[in-house]
Amino acid sequence: MSFFDISEMGPRDLLYRAIGSIDVQEQVRMSGLTSFRIGGPADYVVAPDSVKEVVKALHVLNEQGIPYIVIGRGTNLLVSDEGFRGAVIRIGGTYLQHVEFKGTTMICEAGLPLLSIAKTAMRHGLAGMEFAAGIPGSLGGGIFMNAGAYGGELSQIVKDVTVVDINGKIRTIPGSELGFGYRSSILQSKSWIIVSATLQLKEDDPKAIEARMEELAQARKDKQPLDLPSAGSAFKRPEGHFAGALIEQAGLKGYQIGGAQVSTKHAGFIVNQGGATCKDVLELIRYIQKTVSDKFGVRLEPEIRYLSPYGLDRI
C-alpha cells in the first residue's frame, strides 16, 4: 500500500474520478523528466491538459494532504536519487501549449517551450523573444526564474501572468507586480502555478528576427556544452564576476566527481558524463563553492533548483 493510500481509493484513482481525462502516473523516474537525466521516482506525476484540470488536481492533492511540486521541462532541476515523496504537477510535455495573438501581444500557455514561442513570434513578425530561443525551458519555468540570456530577460516582455493559487483561485498578476530580479521573482516564494502569460512584443521584419535568432543560436552552440545532459548554468552570476571564469581560474575546468563533471567547454556548466547521480552533482557543487570561496572570497550561489525527497531544498 502506498504511503498516501489513506482511503479506500488511492490518490491516483481519486484524481481520475475527480478529473476524468487527467494523465496520472505512479512511480515515475524523474531522470526521464529532467534535462540532467538524474533523479529517482516521484510517487505521482500529474499532467493536467487545461487550467480547469490544474484547479481540480490541486483540490484533490490538498484534500488528500499530498505534497506537490510544479515543474515544466525540468531544465533547471536536480532531483534526489531517492526521488520525491509526493506529486509532481507537470506543466508542459504536450499540454497547456495554446497561443493566441492580440495585436503585438502573445497570450501563451505556460507549457509552451520558449523556443517554440520565439519561432512563432518570428513567423508573425513580432520581435522581443530572440534572446530566449536558446533557453531550453518552458514559459512557466522561465517566468518563475526570470530566465534570460544575451542581455535579455523575460521580465522585459511579460505584461501579465495568470496563476492558480493554493486555493484553486485563478488570478492575473501584472508583470510590474511580480518583483522580477536577476533569476528571481516573487513567484519563487508563492505556492502558485503559472498557467499562462501575456507577452508584449513589437513589430519587425521576420527575416531580421530570424537572423538575430540564428546568430544567438550559433553563439550558444559555440560556447555551451549542448551535447551532454546538464541543467544549464550551474551558478548565478556573482556581483562583479562571472561564475564560469572564477571556476576556470580556480583550476576546476574538467574536474569530475563520479559521473558529474565541470564542463571542459564552459566551466559554468556541470554536465552528466554518463551515470551521474544526484550525490555526485551535489558533492561537485559543494567542492566548487569551497574552492572558489577559498581562492577568491566569492560565494557561488547555485542557479540549479534541488528537489529532495520531501521538497525543494537549498544546496
Residues with a known catalytic role: 183, 233, 303
The CA distance from 242 to 283, in Å, is 21
The CA distance from 210 to 230, in Å, is 27
Spatial contact of 269 and 225, defined as CB atoms under 8 Å apart? yes
Spatial contact of 71 and 311, defined as CB atoms under 8 Å apart? no
- Cβ contacts of 86 within 8 Å, gap of 6 or more: 42, 43, 44, 66, 67, 68, 69, 310, 311
Is residue 114 left, alpha or beta, with left meaning phi > 0 and alpha meaning psi from -120 to 50?
alpha
Spatial contact of 305 and 234, defined as CB atoms under 8 Å apart? no
The CA distance from 26 to 228, in Å, is 28
